[in-house]
């Protein structure tokens, strides 16, 4: 069954837990929607929000709706002497660079099933995971419904574990990356230097729902307090096998439908672009290089400004952006660039004039083009000064204008046979896509080769 609240849809999975949230923007939240989400969280234990692009501040702001943010305690890391206070948002990875906040299970080992923050006296009520980078075909991540796992224990086991307490050992931050081993039964052992220890009841009662859950962390060394060593080891092994049963779990594969990482992920998605412009050509070529046809995406014809608004309002999944808008969005960290124009030969810009005027004023055009060329060369060599001149004209700040200039080079090339062939390919493509209504012969709109030769500035001729 699908429940609709305001503009969102909450669709439970067919597994023991989990619900997929669609039609929702984490950055624009209504109070009644939060109430619906909290109820869905209680009922389904796990909420999956698709196609969200967030900064750390936006992630924290959304998490705050569900409770206070946990500040993990400071500790001294392996090989260091100064205390380290973990940030509120941790980078979790299994093969991260040294500067990453946390690197668990190194060398691409799979992260073991675990309960977050079990090593604290009062564990957190939940965790927010935001996928930054995932493998091409995965990974599989799964969650376990520990309330159902407790409910389906036999009566004898429920009686056996009633009142038992478990001591958990956590070596987080105290070991080198290649020292992590498999968890084991650790009856009576003393904590290692820097190791955290917490004691929790094996059966806990959920504070909101009042249901009993099996509070068992399979990724830690464990010790059942004041319990026979042999029987404790057997019980731990039994519980480990019990919670591995597929009927308690929801397995989620981070698919290309969850996050758009490549142009190929756009298949079937809504993409905004300015029809009939160089942006159309860029989109077509970008799709072509990954084996997609233009109609494999749902093209939405919008101006650049309207495309941006549609994208930010999430009425389209992606859009073809240009500077300075692209720079601003990149600076805000709210977008993911799937493909830039590097390697795609876009049509370029052309100086246009009425044919009769151009034919009768060849020397004038030569002087104009020479001046344009020299101004462009100056701008290439004086980007800061050029940015200060252009910024107020384009109504952008100087740093943004300088970034725009750093991404381009002012240049001028004569129109030759290769240019005409390239332009004809563009015209043919736009005709095939039914963007222009009839076949266009580019040469009908050009001067003769002799006329072009007459207007080529000497500096360009000499450069060539």
Summarize pLDDT for 416-442 with one digit per residue, the tens.
888 888 889 889 998 998 888 899 999
pLDDT at 39: 92
Highest mean pLDDT among 56-65, 127-136, 260-269: 56-65
Mean pLDDT of 171-180: 57
Contact 334, 28 (CB under 8 A): no
Per-residue DSSP letters for 1-12? Answer: --EEETTEEEEE
pLDDT band with cut points at 50, 70 and 90 for residue 132: confident
| Residue 21 C-alpha from the chain's centroid | 17
Choose among 187, 249, 185, 189: nearest CA to 218. Answer: 185
Structure-model confidence comparison of residues 253 and 47, the more confident one: 47
pLDDT band with cut points at 50, 70 and 90 for residue 271: very high
pLDDT at 298: 92
Mean pLDDT of 307-316: 84
| Residue 128 C-alpha from the chain's centroid | 15
Mean pLDDT of 329-345: 77
Q: How far is CA 395 from CA 64, 322, 391, 392, in A?
A: 36, 15, 6, 5
pLDDT at 1: 40
pLDDT at 147: 94
pLDDT at 4: 42
pLDDT at 2: 41
pLDDT at 3: 40
Strand-pairing partners, residue 272, are 300, 319
Mean pLDDT of 8-18: 90
169 CB-side CA count, 13 A: 24
Choose among 381, 402, 380: nearest CA to 391. Answer: 402
pLDDT at 55: 80
Q: Which pair of tokens denotes residue 171?
A: 């070596």
pLDDT at 383: 92
pLDDT at 136: 60
pLDDT at 181: 64
The whole-model pTM stands at 0.59
Sheet containing 165-170: order of strands: 196-201, 165-170, 221-224
The Cα 428–Cα 276 span in angstroms is: 12
Residue 234 has pLDDT above 70, yes or no: yes
Summarize pLDDT for 183-225 with one digit per residue, the tens.
778 777 888 776 788 899 999 998 877 889 999 887 788 889 9
What's the whole-number average pLDDT of the chain? 83
Summarize pLDDT for 237-250 with one digit per residue, the tens.
999 899 988 899 98
Summarize pLDDT for 280-292 with one digit per residue, the tens.
999 999 999 889 9
The Cα 323–Cα 25 span in angstroms is: 25
Per-residue DSSP letters for 191-214? Answer: PPTT-EEEEEESEEE-TTT--EEE
Region of poorest pLDDT, from 259-263, 274-278, 423-427, 429-433: 259-263
- Which H/E stretch holds residue 351? none
Contact 271, 319 (CB under 8 A): yes
Mean pLDDT of 267-295: 90
Region of poorest pLDDT, from 30-39, 43-52, 255-264, 301-310: 255-264
Structure-model confidence comparison of residues 45 and 336, the more confident one: 45
Structure-model confidence comparison of residues 289 and 330, the more confident one: 289
Percent of the chain at pLDDT above 90? 28
Handedness of CA 390, 395, 399, 404 (dihedral sign): negative
Structure-model confidence comparison of residues 138 and 45, the more confident one: 45
230 CB-side CA count, 13 A: 0
Mean pLDDT of 9-34: 84
pLDDT at 83: 85
pLDDT at 21: 87
Whether a cis peptide bond, with omega within 30° of 0, leads into 324 is yes
pLDDT at 229: 87
Residue 327 has pLDDT above 90, yes or no: no
pLDDT at 5: 45
């Amino acid at each position: 069954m699908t429940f609709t609240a305001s503009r969102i849809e909450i669709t439970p999975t067919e597994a023991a837990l989990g619900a997929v949230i669609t039609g929702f923007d984490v950055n624009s939240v209504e109070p009644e929607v939060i109430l619906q989400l909290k109820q869905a969280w209680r009922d389904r234990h796990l909420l999956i929000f698709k196609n969200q692009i967030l900064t750390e501040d936006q992630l924290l702001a959304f998490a705050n709706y569900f409770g206070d943010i946990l500040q993990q305690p400071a500790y001294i890391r392996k090989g260091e002497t100064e205390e380290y206070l973990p940030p509120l948002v941790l980078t979790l990875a299994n093969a991260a660079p040294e500067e990453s906040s946390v690197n668990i299970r190194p060398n691409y080992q799979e992260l073991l099933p675990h309960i977050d923050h079990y090593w604290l006296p009062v564990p957190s009520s939940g965790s927010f995971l935001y996928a930054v980078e995932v493998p091409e075909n995965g990974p599989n991540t799964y969650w376990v419904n520990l309330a159902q796992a407790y409910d389906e224990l036999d009566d004898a086991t429920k009686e056996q574990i009633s009142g038992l307490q478990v001591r958990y050992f956590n070596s987080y931050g105290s070991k080198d990356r290649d020292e992590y081993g498999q968890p084991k039964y650790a009856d009576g052992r003393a904590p290692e230097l820097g190791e955290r220890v917490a004691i929790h009841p094996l059966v806990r009662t959920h504070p909101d729902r009042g249901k009993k859950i099996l509070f068992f962390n399979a990724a830690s060394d464990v010790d059942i307090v004041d319990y026979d060593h042999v029987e404790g080891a057997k019980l731990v092994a039994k519980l480990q096998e019990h919670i591995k049963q597929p009927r308690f779990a929801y397995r989620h594969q981070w698919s290309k439908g969850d996050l758009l990482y490549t142009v190929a992920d756009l298949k079937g998605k809504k993409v905004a672009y300015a029809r009939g412009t160089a942006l159309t050509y860029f989109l077509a070529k970008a799709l072509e290089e990954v084996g997609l046809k233009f109609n494999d995406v749902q093209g939405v014809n919008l101006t650049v400004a309207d495309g941006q608004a549609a994208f930010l309002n999430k009425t389209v999944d992606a859009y073809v952006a240009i500077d300075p808008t692209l720079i601003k969005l990149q600076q805000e960290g709210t977008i993911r660039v799937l493909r830039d124009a590097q390697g795609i030969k876009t049509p370029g810009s052309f100086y246009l004039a009425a044919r009769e005027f151009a034919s009768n004023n060849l020397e004038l055009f030569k002087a104009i083009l020479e001046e344009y060329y020299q101004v462009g060369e100056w701008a290439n060599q004086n980007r800061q000064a050029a940015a200060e001149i252009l910024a107020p004209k384009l109504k952008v700040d100087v740093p943004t204008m300088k970034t725009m200039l750093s991404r381009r080079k002012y240049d001028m090339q004569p129109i030759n046979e290769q240019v005409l062939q390239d332009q004809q390919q563009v015209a043919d493509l736009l005709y095939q896509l039914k963007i222009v209504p009839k076949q266009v012969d580019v040469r009908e709109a050009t001067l003769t080769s002799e006329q072009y030769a007459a207007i080529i500035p000497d500096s360009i001729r000499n450069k060539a």
